[in-house]
Structure 1
């Protein structure tokens, strides 16, 4: 059972003003990025098949908490779920270069939806590209799999 944090992590967004999270607009900005991203996930059969839950809202919330924490916002993800363990959590899924590219296309729409400054956009996009690449665990062509 997931426990709710004792206090509202968004009650004082000014506490994060010196972080990347705060610089780009905090919760509202990340909420938009991730929501638009999940609209893309829902519309892509390859990516949607990786989510066993009928309702994507829990996955959307987990991703939002992770991204906020990673960029200096509330540590709700850690409090509720522990260490992110991204590679381990994605091992059960066949993450091919095609899946990576589709994931990045969905994320691109989310990032574009918030119109970040060029510096912030470049910083965020660099991370997203590296993270997506690190999760690839299968070749596109089944004959190339070890």
Structure 2
């Protein structure tokens, strides 16, 4: 799941996006994550290191320099996320934050944004490790 995306005529997705635009995307993404009620509790208050790790991961994942591998070892994404309850709802929230950050990053072309979002949709689905809690409805217990 962590193999780099394939090359196209224009080069890797990393080459087509570039490190500057990728850095902008990651910063905009984590600004949204910090405000998301489903995601913020999973992350530290200071997202600086988290954003650095995400940039390093995305660089290699998109076919650029393998920064994450060089700094932290193999990503082992699913294993690293197992201590956290990643529900389908949280996966959707994560993708929604990424989609919004992509829209806020015009430095990334539309075709590249679609390609990146499609790849990250697969990654987000792979990270889910916990079912959504049952919906509370009439007759469901409620904790106040």
Q: TM-score, normalised by structure 2?
A: 0.80
Q: Deviations over 1:64-112 (max 9, x none)?
A: 1100111122222111001110000110011111101111111111111
CA contact (8 A) 2:98 2:117 kept: no
Distance 1:43 1:82 in 2: 30
| Maintained 8 Å contact 1:66/1:77 | yes
SS at match of 1:120: helix
Q: 1:103 aligns with which of 94, 97, 114?
A: 94
Please report how far the alpha carbon of residue 46 of structure 1 lies from its aligned counterpart in structure 2 after TM superposition: 2.0
Alignment length, in residue pairs?
125
In 1, distance between residues paired with 2:110 and 2:49?
Answer: 31
- The answer for the alignment partner of 1:123 in structure 2 is 115
Match of 1:77 in 2: 68
Shift of 1:142: 5.2
Which of 78, 81, 86 is the matching residue for 1:90?
81
Q: Which residue of 2 aligns with 1:19?
A: 12
| 2:126 aligned residue | 134
Corresponding residue for 2:38? 46
Q: Alpha-carbon deviation of 1:122?
A: 2.2
- Structure 1: runs of 5 or more not aligned: 1-16
Contact 1:22–1:73, Cα closer than 8 Å, also in 2: yes
For the residues of structure 2 that align with 1:117 and 1:58, how far apart are their CA atoms?
27
Answer yes or no: is the 8 Å Cα contact 1:32–1:114 preserved in 2.
Answer: yes
- Structure with more helix by fraction: 1
Is residue 86–residue 130 contact of structure 2 (8 Å, CA) maintained in 1?
yes
Match of 1:55 in 2: 46
SS of the aligned residue for 2:39 comes to helix
Residue 11 of structure 1: aligned partner: none
Query: Which stretches of structure 1, 4 residues or longer, exceed 4 Å deviation after superposition?
Result: none
